[in-house]
Amino acid sequence: MNPTIVYTVASLSSLGLIAAAILYVFAQKFKVYEDPRIDEVQDILPAANCGGCGYAGCRNFAEALVKADSFDGLNCPPGGSEVMEQAAAILGREAVAADPLIAVVRCGGTPDKRPLTSLYDGVSNCKIANSLYTGESDCGYGCLGLGDCVASCQFDAMHMDNESRMPVISDTNCVACGACVKACPRSIIEMRKKAKKDRKLFVSCVNRDKGAVAKKACSVACIGCSKCVKVCEYDAVKVENFLSYIDYTKCVFCRKCVTECPTNAIVEINFPPRKVRNQEAAKA
Amino acid sequence: MLKTFPLGGVHPPENKFSESAPTEELPVPAQVVIPISQHIGAPSDPVVKRGDIVKVGQLIAESKGFVSANIHSSVSGKVAKIDGVTDSSGYRQTAITIDAEGDEWLDSVDRSEQLTKEVKLSREDILSRCHEMGIVGLGGATFPSHVKLSVPPGKQCDTLIINGVECEPYLTSDHRLMLEKGEEMVVGISILMKALGVDKAMIGIENNKPDAIEHIKKISAAYKGISVHSLKIKYPQGAEKQLIKALLNREVPSGMLPIEVGAVVHNVGTAFAVYEAVQKNKPLIDRIVTVTGKSLANPGNYRVRIGTPVSALIDAAGGTPEDTGKIVNGGPMMGKALNKSDVPVVKGTSGIILFPASESRRVRVTPCIRCSKCITVCAMGLEPYLLMSLAERDMYDIVEANKVTDCMECGSCSYICPAGRPLLDYIRLGKSTVFSIIRERNSK
């Protein structure tokens, strides 16, 4: 046999062996142990990376779930209780039931109710318009209608309504990830508990000006008259800074405040028609 | 060769329609609305209440903290209310409304026209007088003057720079002031020099005001250490850092104040206000405002009391023309559109411009073609196109790394962009967001 071949094979093999030994030593020394359950949990998460859980992405949330002793305060809004139960099964813990939420737009200032006093022709971006001035109406709190929230939605759950110039939230698509809440420079969008049959009852206004000023800017503004507080039997309504707020954990959807509100700032959505109205309609 | 700053700059059409219109005194309005925050810094505290009778020059809101300014009544009469009013941004802020009755001044104010050259007050007294009289920078930024005049320990100031550049198109109030109140202004400069303890002052005036340059040169010849320099016409030469570079050839480091290179910059209007405060004991209760526009009947310059509604100014200049599309508060480059004309004139109102509808509309935005014109005109050496695309995509860490905080919002990039891109709007968004991120980081 040609000795050159022998030497070559021998030297190369020994080099390979030495390299393998070094690699083995370092691989052992710097080994990072990763809980295999993280991958398992990540697989069942929706992989939307929406940030609704408060973590940067689904992987971070999976890590947090594996690390956490209890699921208290941890929730995947797009996945809902189904995903959380699966994760609980993998990790051998108990799922904590979290109320499903839905985003609501707390402004009813459509152009017919909130007169336009100027014309904005700058950049179509709510944050920029908000830093420049009150917007096209005199209400410095209401919706600017330029769609930052719609642009932030990853779930196709929002669109701008051309007529009302307001964002509309789809009951079926919204997963309550909270991206629109963060995108709105005026904090108009709020996460509220998702009720059965998608019923919603809330104060559709965030104007904190005095009643007369608010009313002048918009006919459906909350004027802070406190009539809703008086009529509520469940202590669910509060008025602060001339603005009413209904606590969704206490509200039982009796709708008394809706009828009481003099400016129609409290709205009810997806409720059956009232009996009284039916009788009136029958009379007519 | 005329002096100027080397980097960037634009030269928009000057349109100085009102430069030959002498300053007119606007009659005292029936009611003034005086906001309690007319300056950079903490809003002042009202010291009068509803129903109080005040005289012209009386203190009505006291400064709160070092960076803040006193506010005085600009009319005599009765305080009607202290309540939220819509300011020039459309948002509501607290203001003191006073119904005017007659025109009764405080006895301490010397209202004679006589020129007082001799500066009797000491350095400290000048500072406290400026503070007391509510003097703020009248170039537009409204930074309290006493703060600027207090040189921080360890720093040395060797030159006072007086800004008579008025590089914004349309505006002529500083020009008229130099022509009409030149003597007083130069005395004001000598007061500022005394306050700063410097023996050198340089007045920078752009070359489109030859009459003002001549006039001030003649007056200042009698004063030691004051020199007048004519500058090449280039926007934004009125910006502090650009003016220092043009006159002294010193560069203010990024994120630093002019004092870092031994200079303090004051506007000509401020110099005049300081003269009135120190020599005449008169608080800052009025200012010159240019009211102009292509289709306005009589564009002019008006001395008006703080708190007068802008609509009164427009009426004095011939009323709102029918083709008006936008009313801008300030210059055409940096000013902001008003959404109402009944907002009050404040200490920082330098001009009111009425643009015809045909000129006021934004152009259609097309994609960036990377022509890099915005980079050539940026006087701070930034890359506006990059900052805009980063801000559009919420990449604020890179926006910060690209020195967005150096942007002075002069608008040259938006002005020059052939694609009509809203560069400045996004840069401003990036800048304010970065500042809030920095604040949050520092508070941790």
Instruction: Please state, in angstroms and rounded to a whole number, the distance separating the CA atoms of residues B106 and A271.
Output: 66
Question: B35 pairs with which residues across the strands?
Answer: B95
Domain boundary among B361, B393, B425: B361
Report how many Cβ contacts below 8 Å link chain A to chain B.
48
pLDDT one-digit tens code per residue, B240-265: 999 999 999 999 999 899 999 999 99
pLDDT one-digit tens code per residue, B395-441: 999 999 999 999 999 999 999 999 999 999 999 999 999 999 999 99
CB contact under 8 A, B429 and A128: yes
> Smallest CA–CA separation between B96 and chain A, in Å?
17
High-pLDDT (> 70) share of chain A, %: 97
CB contact under 8 A, B339 and A132: no
High-pLDDT (> 90) share of chain A, %: 61
Instruction: Please state, in angstroms and rounded to a whole number, the distance separating the CA atoms of residues B167 and A232.
Output: 62
Average predicted confidence (pLDDT) for chain A = 90
Instruction: Please state, in angstroms and rounded to a whole number, the distance separating the CA atoms of residues A175 and A45.
Output: 13
> Smallest CA–CA separation between B51 and chain A, in Å?
22
Domain ranges of chain A: 37-91, 101-269
Q: Does B364 touch chain A (CB under 8 A)?
A: no
CATH of residue B83: 2.40.50
- CATH architecture for the domain at A37-91: Orthogonal Bundle (1.10)
Q: Does B362 touch chain A (CB under 8 A)?
A: yes
Contact, A100 vs A196, CB < 8 A?
Answer: no
Using N-to-C axis directions, what is the helix angle for B384-392 and B423-443, rounded to 10°? 70
Collapsing DSSP to helix, strand or coil, B135 comes out as coil
> Smallest CA–CA separation between B422 and chain A, in Å?
7
Contact, B23 vs B180, CB < 8 A?
Answer: yes
Q: Does B339 touch chain A (CB under 8 A)?
A: yes
The reply to whether B155 and B186 lie within a common domain is: yes
Residue B89 lies in a domain: yes
Q: Sorting pLDDT into bands at 50, 70 and 90, what band is A158?
A: very high
Is 80 exceeded by the pLDDT of residue B366? yes
Q: Measured between beta carbons, which residues in chain B are less than 8 angstroms from residue A209? A: 84, 92
CATH of residue B223: 3.40.50.11540
> Smallest CA–CA separation between B292 and chain A, in Å?
21
Q: Sorting pLDDT into bands at 50, 70 and 90, what band is A95?
A: confident
Average pLDDT, integer, range A41-62: 90
Query: From the candidates A117, A123, A131, A146, which should be mutated to test the interface with B, based on the most B CB atoms within 10 A?
Result: A123
CB contact under 8 A, A131 and B339: no
Q: Does A130 touch chain B (CB under 8 A)?
A: no
Collapsing DSSP to helix, strand or coil, B396 comes out as helix
pLDDT at A279: 55
The number of C-alpha atoms within 13 Å of B266 and in the hemisphere containing its C-beta is: 30
pLDDT one-digit tens code per residue, A224-268: 999 999 999 999 999 999 999 999 999 999 999 999 999 999 999
| Containing structural domain, residue B40 | 24-100
Residues 6+ apart with CB under 8 A from B441: none
CB contact under 8 A, B425 and A122: yes
CA angle at B33 for the pair B31 and B38, rounded to the nearest 5°: 150
> Smallest CA–CA separation between B425 and chain A, in Å?
7
Is 90 exceeded by the pLDDT of residue B113? no
Q: Sorting pLDDT into bands at 50, 70 and 90, what band is A278?
A: low
Query: From the candidates A132, A154, A241, which should be mutated to test the interface with B, based on the most B CB atoms within 10 A?
Result: A132
Is 90 exceeded by the pLDDT of residue B444? no
> Which residue type, as a one-letter code, is found at position B293?
G
Nearest CA-CA partner of B1 in B291, B340, B246, B265: B246
Burial (CB < 10 A; 0-12, 13-18, 19+), residue A261, is buried
Residue B383 lies in a domain: yes
Which CATH number among 2.40.110.10, 3.90.25.10, 3.30.70.20, 2.40.50.140 corresponds to the domain A101-269? 3.30.70.20
Q: What one-character DSSP code corresponds to residue B260?
A: G
Is 70 exceeded by the pLDDT of residue B210? yes
CB contact under 8 A, B90 and A122: no
* Buried-state track A208-246, b at ≥16 Cβ within 10 A, e below 16: bbbbebbbebbbbbbbbbebbbeebeeebbebeebbbbb
Distance between first and last Cα of chain B: 51
The reply to whether B226 and B182 lie within a common domain is: yes
Contact, B371 vs B416, CB < 8 A?
Answer: no
The reply to whether B208 and B334 lie within a common domain is: yes
Q: Measured between beta carbons, which residues in chain A are less than 8 angstroms from residue B84? A: 209-210, 213
Is 60 exceeded by the pLDDT of residue A165? yes
Residue B366 lies in a domain: no
Q: Sorting pLDDT into bands at 50, 70 and 90, what band is A276?
A: low
Domain boundary among B361, B390, B411: B361
Instruction: Please state, in angstroms and rounded to a whole number, the distance separating the CA atoms of residues A14 and A18.
Output: 6
Is 60 exceeded by the pLDDT of residue A163? yes
> Smallest CA–CA separation between B89 and chain A, in Å?
5
Q: Does A241 touch chain B (CB under 8 A)?
A: no
Does ipTM exceed 0.85?
yes
Q: Does B393 touch chain A (CB under 8 A)?
A: no
The reply to whether B129 and B169 lie within a common domain is: yes
Instruction: Please state, in angstroms and rounded to a whole number, the distance separating the CA atoms of residues A113 and A218.
Output: 6
The reply to whether B76 and B151 lie within a common domain is: no
Contact, A39 vs A60, CB < 8 A?
Answer: no
Is 60 exceeded by the pLDDT of residue A282? no
Contact, A102 vs A195, CB < 8 A?
Answer: no
pLDDT at A277: 54
Across the interface, of A131, A135, A138, the residue whose CB is closest to B429 is A131
Residues 6+ apart with CB under 8 A from A185: A126, A127, A130, A131, A144, A148
Count the domains in chain B.
3
The reply to whether B6 and B61 lie within a common domain is: no
Average pLDDT, integer, range A112-127: 90
Q: Sorting pLDDT into bands at 50, 70 and 90, what band is B72?
A: very high
Q: Does A140 touch chain B (CB under 8 A)?
A: yes
The reply to whether B66 and B212 lie within a common domain is: no
pLDDT one-digit tens code per residue, B217-226: 999 999 999 9
The reply to whether B330 and B222 lie within a common domain is: yes
Q: Give pTM, 2 decimals.
A: 0.87
Instruction: Please state, in angstroms and rounded to a whole number, the distance separating the CA atoms of residues A37 and A41.
Output: 6
Across the interface, of A122, A131, A135, the residue whose CB is closest to B362 is A122
Across the interface, of A117, A123, A209, the residue whose CB is closest to B339 is A117
The reply to whether B88 and B145 lie within a common domain is: no
Q: Does B120 touch chain A (CB under 8 A)?
A: no
The number of C-alpha atoms within 13 Å of B403 and in the hemisphere containing its C-beta is: 13
- Return left, alpha or beta for B170; rule: phi > 0 is left, psi -120 to 50 is alpha, else beta: left
Nearest CA-CA partner of B316 in B335, B341, B291: B291
pLDDT at A237: 94
CB contact under 8 A, A132 and B336: yes
Residue of B nearest to A127 (CA): B429
Residues 6+ apart with CB under 8 A from B113: none
Average predicted confidence (pLDDT) for chain B = 93
Dihedrals phi, psi of A192, to nearest 5 degrees: -125, 160
* Torsion (CA) A257, A263, A266, A269 in degrees, nearest 10: 110
CB contact under 8 A, B336 and A133: yes
Residue B166 lies in a domain: yes
Instruction: Please state, in angstroms and rounded to a whole number, the distance separating the CA atoms of residues B422 and A65.
Output: 44
Q: Does A117 touch chain B (CB under 8 A)?
A: yes
pLDDT at A283: 52
Contact, B335 vs B326, CB < 8 A?
Answer: no
> Which residue type, as a one-letter code, is found at position B57?
G
Average pLDDT, integer, range B221-235: 93
The reply to whether B80 and B217 lie within a common domain is: no
pLDDT one-digit tens code per residue, B76-88: 999 999 988 888 8
Is 90 exceeded by the pLDDT of residue B57? yes
The reply to whether B129 and B227 lie within a common domain is: yes
CB contact under 8 A, A123 and B426: yes
Average pLDDT, integer, range A115-122: 89
Average pLDDT, integer, range B22-51: 92
> Smallest CA–CA separation between B249 and chain A, in Å?
35
Residue of A nearest to B89 (CA): A133
Across the interface, of A128, A133, A209, the residue whose CB is closest to B89 is A133
CB contact under 8 A, A132 and B422: no
Is 80 exceeded by the pLDDT of residue B1? no
High-pLDDT (> 70) share of chain B, %: 100
Q: Sorting pLDDT into bands at 50, 70 and 90, what band is A280?
A: low
What's the count of helices (H) and strands (E) in chain A, helices before strands?
11, 8
Question: Which B residues in the span 32-91 are in contact with A, Cβ-Cβ below 8 Å?
Answer: 84, 86, 89-91
The reply to whether B183 and B288 lie within a common domain is: yes
As given in the structure block, the two tokens for residue B244 are 């220092």
CA angle at A97 for the pair A91 and A101, rounded to the nearest 5°: 125
CA torsion sign for A51, A56, A57, A63 is negative
What B176-180 contacts at long range (C-beta under 8 Å, 24+ apart), as own/partner pairs, is: B176/B18, B176/B19, B176/B21, B176/B22, B176/B23, B176/B288, B176/B301, B177/B23, B177/B268, B177/B269, B177/B272, B177/B288, B178/B205, B178/B209, B178/B212, B178/B215, B178/B216, B178/B268, B179/B211, B179/B212, B179/B215, B180/B22, B180/B23
Q: Does A127 touch chain B (CB under 8 A)?
A: yes
Average pLDDT, integer, range B29-42: 92
Is 70 exceeded by the pLDDT of residue A199? yes
pLDDT at B404: 95
Residue B368 lies in a domain: no
Q: Measured between beta carbons, which residues in chain B are less than 8 angstroms from residue A121? A: 361-362
Contact, B159 vs B226, CB < 8 A?
Answer: no
